[in-house]
Structure 1
Amino acid sequence: MLYLIGLLLFIITLFYILSKSKKNKQNVSKYLIYKKEEIANLPSNNLNSYFSSGYHNKDTEELLSQSKSEPILEKIKVDFSLQSNNVNSHFNSDYYNNHIEELLYKTIEIRHFAIRGIRFRENITESDTGFFVGHAICEDNYHDKYAVAIFRNDGKQLGYTPKNNKRLDDSIKKWHSGKILCWGIIGYDNYNNIWGGDVYIPVGMPEDTINMIHEIIRRKERLSILLKEKPASIENSLNALKIHQEIKELTKITPKFDGLNHVFPKTLIPSLSKHLEKEKMWSKLIELEQYKDEIQNLSSVMASSTLQRINKAKEFLNIKE
């Protein structure tokens, strides 16, 4: 009789243990589903901190401490490990980057930025100072995921726009496939021993407008090279005047934007007229008369001396008014 009672108690106890174990497994399964949903609903910027904090492991351990089921414990750990790896892979993938909200400029204009990092470019020398034309290219690098590199047309890198400018990076990628025309100027401050520069980028402008701008700045680049020559030759000075006139005509049909301002050295015509007079190149001297608008903008002294030389040339060639 006692044997039967003991056997019955053993069976009841075994049944209780098995049912308890089954219930724990069900709780674990429900918990796992709940945690996955919780993770899915977390803001993206909290995911990494969630998986690195150990919070989920602590909760899971407490739940499973009642269960003594090592296989289930290992399954949960593996599952969360895989989930963590999947989330981290999203953070390092195009999937994650494509789901961040784009920041685009709301107005179309020529954007102006200081050029950073010129001093780190080992191949930049004094001969590189002055006006340049090139491209701004989006570049995701170790220091700045929104980096925009500035290159000259000959492929020489000058530096970068200021870092962490997501709006500029997104706008160039969205509207210009990651590469757009740019221009600017760099120089070296001998007193402070530092490099500096400025770059202009026509972000968001239509292709035909950018092409018109390119025609202007291409001439500005050529003009800058001609004006660098010291002392200036007669041929280069005459070419500089011709290019200056072309730029003026192009700017008349191009929308007005900051960054396309054109300044021409006022001393060029007076010094050129003096040089032509000295060389007795009378016909070339008379050609300066076509630049009357430029002459009228000179100081009264410079304008008067230039016109006197032109009239002198006419007298030598017997040209009457």
Structure 2
Amino acid sequence: MSVTPTTTTTQSINDVIQQQQPTSPTKFKLFSGFASGSLASITATTFTNPIELVKTRLQLQGELQVSARIYNGIGDAFFKIWKTEGLIGFQRGLFPAYLSQGTLNGCRLGSYDIIKKFVGITDERTATFWQNLAAGAAAGAFGASMGSPFDLVKVRMQAARMFPNDPQFKDYNSTSNAFKSIIRNEGYRGLVRGMATSAQRTAVGSSIQLSTYFESKRMVMSTGLFTKDGIDAQFMASLIAGLFVTIGMNPFDVARTRLYYQGKGNTHGEKYKSLVDCIYKTVKYEGFFALYKGFLAHYLRLAPHTCLTLVFWEQFKDMFDKVEKKYI
């Protein structure tokens, strides 16, 4: 005996099928994902650029036991920069840092919500550590590749006053002139110097950051001491994530900074051929712990930057979600 499906039954079946099918992100979702990541990281960068400047200079000094040691630590670096460059000196490289972080984290955090669907994450509450790790690594590598040219300029502008006699930096008085100088002296290929290392560095950092952040957030919320998914829980989870990120990423960060710094026409030549070569020579001439140069400065920058970025990211996402529900 055959049963002819009614219109209501057919409609119900179609509704179920549509609910089971993953929905593609709307254009607004793509925009809001990128915008949330960009706005969050740009806001955070305003507060953390001074310690980023100190970290960069600490990582460059004493390079392969050739360059001079100018600073005796974080406190000494802050004092000498303030004394010789004034308060404005602490925000050196801020504009390319905005471009770098806005592009990097806009692409990284914006693509994360899309990439996690490809690794099978449908609900953050049930996502595994390894799923978050894979999604974070892919998003980080993509974001770093997009933001690398701006990061290159930022590092060199922050190093310029540290090595005033280096002819490489004679035109680094603005972001646009820095770009022109790189293209003139090194060609367009100069803009992708260190890009692979930056992608590897951020893939490591992003995979650790996003996976430990969501795991830590679940852990701190389970204690009952924090608001459910509130800013206090997000803040504590970010602090924990920041520590693990610094431990895993610092060697890559030292190598990336040095690869960015070297270029044609400078006083020290091109010392490194690749990430592996840079790490090998750094350990050979300066010892293993040279890979953790600027570690404290890195954490003091990364911990608040991670906190501010991730907390602002979640707040901006909520804001855009409300806008979408109300107006779109």
Question: TM-score, normalization: structure 2?
Answer: 0.22
Q: Which has the higher contact order (CA 8 A, sep 6+)?
A: 2
Higher helix share: 2
